Amino acid sequence: MNAFRFSGTSEARLRDIHPDLAKVIRRALELSAVDFSVVEGVRTYARQQQLFKEGKSRTMRSRHLTGHAADLYPVRKAGAEWVRADFEEVVSAMKRASKALGIPIECGHDWQSFPDSPHHQLPTLAYPG
């Protein structure tokens, strides 16, 4: 175990997402070898439109809109452009937490067509929005 704790901002973002996803994220922080924060949870439609127009999202039906997704970022990389390799420990911790809790997740890190390493979501089939 480590001594990592979420900031007030990350905790506020966790309160707005689906409780099962919040459980996985909290457990992942306990298991992780790197500190990470919740940089985005629930998004407004306007925010999603902005990201879509900027090419940072490919959908207007994001799971962020329904509270079924969150973006996680390693603290040591705060403010930097993300690089896939920087997220591997966070992704690994999320997968271990998901398995330990029996709550399925999908990691954008694994997507082939549009890799999105910060993104983690509850699957639509198991958690319709």
Read off the pLDDT of each residue in 82-100 and give the average, rounded to a whole number. Answer: 95
pLDDT of residue 101: 98
Question: What residues are paired with 120 via a beta bridge?
Answer: 70, 107
Q: With 90 as the cut, is the pLDDT of residue 30 above it?
A: yes
pLDDT band at 72 (very low <50, low <70, confident <90, very high): very high
Sign of the four-CA dihedral 36, 125, 52, 115: positive
Split into its structural domains, the chain has a count of 1
CB atoms within 10 A of CB 15: 11
| Per-residue pLDDT, 82 | 76
Residue 126, in any domain of the structure: no
Print the domain residue range for 65: 8-121
Query: In this structure, is residue 2 part of a structural domain?
Result: no
With respect to residue 127, please indicate whether it lies within any of the assigned structural domains.
no
Q: Residue 67: its pLDDT value, please?
A: 98
Here the CATH number for the domain that contains residue 42 is 3.30.1380.10
Flag whether pLDDT at 37 surpasses 90: yes
Residue 11 carries which side chain, given as an amino acid letter? E
Cα 39 to chain center, whole Å?
8
